[in-house]
Amino acid sequence: MGRQRTFDEDHVLEQAMQLFWTKGFEHTSIQDVCEYAGVHRGSMYHTFGDKHELFLACLDRFRHTLRDRLFVQLEEPGDPREVLTRFFDTLIDRMLDENKQRRGCLIANTAMELAPLEPCVEVRVAANLLDMEHMFHAFLVRAQREGKLKSKHSLREMARFLVTTKQGLHVMAKTTTDRKMLEDACKVALSLV
C-alpha cells in the first residue's frame, strides 16, 4: 500500500559519495547533492536524515568498496613484491585520472577535514586504517609462509609502513600530476618488501 520509492536509494548514495569525495564535506551542500542525484531535498532528508547522517553513510559505503578492492588485489597471484607493485600502480593511475580532479581518497580527505572534530567520523576513519593494516598484515603472513619475503622487519611494522605510504601518496597526489614523483616514492617503499 502506498507509492513506492521511485529513485534508487543506492544510486543516490553513490552520487552523494562521489560529490563528498570530490569537494569535501563543507564544500558540498545538500542542494548540490540533490541536484547531482536528481532527488528532491524532501526525499533526501526523509530517506537519509540530515547532512551528517548522509555523510556517514557515504563514508561507510566508501570504506566497504575500498576494503573489497584491497582484498581482491591482495589475492592476486604473483610474488608479494609484484602484487604490491601492481596495487600501487593502479592506485597511482586512479589518482592521476584527469576526470577525477585529484580527489584523492575519501578516507584520507576526511581524516584531515573532520576526524579530530567529529567523533563519529573519527572512529570510522580509524577503523578503516586499522582494516587496511590487517589486510596488509594477512597478505604478508601468507607471503612469508610461502617463503617469498625478504624483509627483516616484523610483519606488523611492515603493514603499518604500507598503510602510511599509501596515505602519504594521497597527500602528494593532491598537488602533483607528476607521475614520476609518485612512482619514485613507491619504488623506494616497495624495495623493502
Partner DNA sequence: TATTTTTTAGAATAACGATTCTTTAAAATA
Partner DNA sequence: TATTTTAAAGAATCGTTATTCTAAAAAATA
28 in contact with DNA (CB under 7 A): yes
Spatial CA neighbour of 158 closest among 182, 187, 132, 180: 132
User: In whole angstroms, what is the distance from residue 170 CA to residue 16 CA?
Assistant: 21
Out of 14, 22, 24, 47, the only residue in the binding site for DNA (CB under 7 A) is: 47
Per partner kind, with CB cut-offs from 5 to 8 A, the member of DNA, its own copies, none near residue 16 is none
Q: What cell was used for 120?
A: 563519529
Which partner in its own copies, DNA, none is near 112 (CB below 5 to 8 A by kind)? its own copies
Q: Closest approach of Cβ 102 to DNA, in Å?
A: 21
Phi then psi dihedrals of residue 53, to 5 deg: -65, -40
> What are the angstrom distances between the C-alpha of 89 and each of 36, 128, 180?
31, 21, 11
Between CA 37 and CA 31 the distance in angstroms is 10
Residue 3 as a binder of DNA (CB under 7 A): the answer is yes
Task: Tell the smallest beta-carbon distance from residue 26 to its own copies (Å).
Answer: 4
**Taking the complex as a whole, how short is the minimal distance between the CB of residue 128 and its own copies, in angstroms?**
9
Q: Output the CA–CA distances (angstroms, integers) from residue 157 to 89, 104, 118, 153, 168, in the order listed.
A: 22, 25, 28, 6, 16
Based on the shown chain and the rule CB under 7 A, indicate whether residue 38 belongs to the binding site for DNA. Answer: yes
Residues that bind its own copies (CB under 8 A): 23-24, 26-27, 101-104, 108-109, 111-113, 115-117, 122, 125-126, 129, 152-154, 156-158, 160-161, 163-172, 174-176, 181, 184-185, 187-189, 191-192
> Smaller CB distance to its own copies: residue 6 or 99?
99
Task: Dig out the grid coordinates for 124 from the structure.
Answer: 570510522
Binding-site ranges for DNA (CB under 7 A): 1-7, 28-31, 38-43, 45-47, 50-52
